[in-house]
Structure 1
Amino acid sequence: MSDRFRDLLRKIGSGPHTGENLNRTEAADAMKMMLLQEATPAQIGAFLIAHRIKRPTSEELAGMLDGCDQFASKLQPLSTPPLLLNCPYDGRSRTAPVTPLTALIVATAGVPVILHGGDTMPTKEGITLTEIWQRLGVDWTTLTFEQVQQVLETTHLGFVYLPAHFPEAAALVPYRREIGKRPPLATMELMWCPYAGVATLACGYVHPPTELLFRETFKWRGMTQFITVKGLEGSCDLPRDRTCIIGVHQACDPAQEDSDLERLLLHPDEYGFAGKEVQLESLTQLLTDIQAVLEGKACELMQAAVWNGGFYLWQCGVSSDLESGLLTAKQLLIDGKVADKLETLQLAVQG
């Protein structure tokens, strides 16, 4: 048992009248003790549920990310700053994920893309990015971290697989099932950056207060270049059945409150992309639909892929505006270049 951890647990778990928030250093210490298993299982479980009930502060989340950075390996800087698509680790259960197609489109255009995640995970236990890539013939679970770096450099795509590349964090996953609720770790992972250089983070969320938490946490950590997306099931996937609520934060002086925020309200109907979201019927059906998109066939998932791919091509500077980004994304799919990128990726990972 860790007496130090017990003191931090007592601080956040004492209730609304006598409880206190942790400072950044204390939160980093707590995270390190959980990652190293210096805290007992009883202490870790109590901390995670107490922290959820209290609600984490931005300073605490910044400290917990600091703690992760001391143990997690980082992909090394590339000549072109990458795009990180940060999505909930517990996957999708209602709507078809378009994130892998978005990543392939952006990578085909020459911009590196990094994703991260793990295996089926509580509490949603939805379909994960890991499973989708495996069914696409890209098994990231077999690669060492050094091999992921090589694949990223040669194909512009990389995936950090938690059990193999950050096992200390993966060891905390069972607590999610045991406490029956998403712990603050589930919010923290949406802001994690397993990359050592300058990058643009796209962070998905469901509830508006989470976006404010993103902005305040990044301010603590000096990050000024990120995109917040009120996406499908908390992912980075832009919806087509409602207005897209997006915050674009460009690099500037972090001391100036909200001076870097550009609020985008994108109406899919104004661009000809309004429609019902593609429902997630099964993994088999999803792969059939993805294959149709890669073959350039017209379908609802094709619309979703172009809508998302075009937006991120615009935000990564490949296209000067959204309209041209949409045209470029569609052409890359129709010409078979995205399918070629997938084949190149398959060969790189298998090799």
Structure 2
Amino acid sequence: MSNTFREYVKKIGSGVHTGKDLTREEAADAMKLMLLGEATPAQIGAFLIVHRIKRPTPEELAGMLDTYAELGPKLEVDNLSFNYPVTVLGTPYDGRARIAPVTVLTAIILATVGVPVVLHGGERMPTKYGVPLVTLWQGLGVDFSRFSLEDSQNILEKTGLSFVYLPNHFPQAQQLITYREQIGKRPPLSALELMWSPCSSPKVHLICGFVHPPTENLFRETLKLRNFHHFTTVKGLEGSCDLPQSRTAIIGMNQPNDNPKWERLFLHPQDYQFKGKDVPLESTEELLKQMQQVLEGENNPLMSLAIYNGGFYLWRCGVCNDLKTGFDEAKTLLTSGKVRQKLQEIQG
């Protein structure tokens, strides 16, 4: 048992009138005690459920991410030979259960034009047990679960796309996953996965998906504390960074200038002839079939969503000067076979 960790639980768990938030340093230490297994399971479970009820502060999340940066894996990105900064796509680890994802297709589209992309996650996990990204990659012939961190680094340098796989690359964080099932709720750790960059430098472009509007401000304040100034927030499909076609996309953009500027974008799909229903996720097998068809340039319900998302991110990452050009370019890349060729390169 950790006496220090017990004090942290007491501090945040003393109720509305006497409970207090942790400092950034205390939150960093609490996370370290959990990752290193110095806190007991009872202490960790108590901390996670109390912290969910209390709601984490930006300072607490910044401290926890400080420890992720200290103990977690880091892909070296400073000396990559690409013309664009690395884009990190932050997607909920518990996957997708209702609407078909296009995050993997977006990543390949960006890599095709020289925007390096890093994704991260693990296997199916609570509380949703949705389809994780690693399963989709496996279905497309790339098994990131078998790669070492060195392999992932080499793939990033060679192809401009890589994946940090929790069970292999960050087992300390992986061992905390079981608590999600035991407490029956997403703990505050689930917010970390949307903001975490498993890269060696803060000079990356973070894409953070979210569901609830207060989460966006939590992202902004936390990332500001951690000196991450190039980021995009997306009220996306099931909390991911996938833009919806069925409603207006609510997007926040922080620009990495000397004086960082926050901008709001309400993207209406009907303005670009993308208005329609989001594609239901019927099964993993059907989704993979649809993704393969898109990569072959065939028109199906998922193609429109892939073009919409790919085009937006081509514009947001600086490849295209305006959204219409981005959408046109995404369509061309998919129908010409260039994205399929990029996948073949990643497959090795």
- In structure 1, what is the equivalent of residue 246 of structure 2? 241
1:253 shift after superposition: 5.0
- In structure 1, what is the equivalent of residue 211 of structure 2? 206
Q: Helix, strand or coil: the match of 2:59?
A: helix
Amino acid at match of 2:52: R
- Distance, in Å, in 2 between the alignment partners of 1:79 and 1:251 is 20
Normalised to the residue count of structure 1, the TM-score between the two structures is 0.97
Computed over aligned residues only, the root mean square deviation of the Cα atoms, in angstroms, reads 0.9
Question: Does 1:63 find its partner at 2:63?
Answer: yes
- In structure 1, what is the equivalent of residue 177 of structure 2? 173
- In structure 2, what is the equivalent of residue 79 of structure 1? 81
- Distance, in Å, in 1 between the alignment partners of 2:168 and 2:210 is 26
- Distance, in Å, in 2 between the alignment partners of 1:336 and 1:241 is 28
Number of aligned residues: 343
- Distance, in Å, in 2 between the alignment partners of 1:114 and 1:68 is 16
1:300 shift after superposition: 1.6
- In structure 1, what is the equivalent of residue 95 of structure 2? 91
- In structure 2, what is the equivalent of residue 114 of structure 1? 118
- In structure 1, what is the equivalent of residue 326 of structure 2? 325
Gaps of 5+ in 1: none
Alignment of 1:130-279 (within 5 A): 130-197=134-201, 198-253=203-258, 260-279=261-280
Question: Does 1:300 find its partner at 2:301?
Answer: yes
- Distance, in Å, in 2 between the alignment partners of 1:274 and 1:205 is 21
- Distance, in Å, in 1 between the alignment partners of 2:299 and 2:286 is 16
1:264 shift after superposition: 0.5
- Distance, in Å, in 2 between the alignment partners of 1:199 and 1:345 is 21
* CA deviation vs aligned residue, 1:292-344 (integer Å, no higher than 9, x gap): 10111112200000000000010111101111111111001011010111111
Amino acid at match of 1:244: A
* CA deviation vs aligned residue, 1:195-241 (integer Å, no higher than 9, x gap): 11211000000000000000010111111110000000000000001
* CA deviation vs aligned residue, 1:99-124 (integer Å, no higher than 9, x gap): 00000101001110110000111000
Q: Helix, strand or coil: the match of 1:190?
A: helix
- Distance, in Å, in 2 between the alignment partners of 1:166 and 1:217 is 22
Question: Does 1:101 find its partner at 2:94?
Answer: no
Q: Helix, strand or coil: the match of 2:195?
A: coil
Q: Helix, strand or coil: the match of 1:70?
A: helix
- Distance, in Å, in 2 between the alignment partners of 1:73 and 1:191 is 15
- Distance, in Å, in 2 between the alignment partners of 1:215 and 1:65 is 14
Amino acid at match of 2:81: S
- Distance, in Å, in 2 between the alignment partners of 1:40 and 1:79 is 45
- Distance, in Å, in 1 between the alignment partners of 2:300 and 2:130 is 24
Question: Which stretches of structure 1, 4 residues or longer, exceed 3 Å deviation after superposition?
Answer: none
Gaps of 5+ in 2: none
Amino acid at match of 1:209: P
Normalised to the residue count of structure 2, the TM-score between the two structures is 0.97
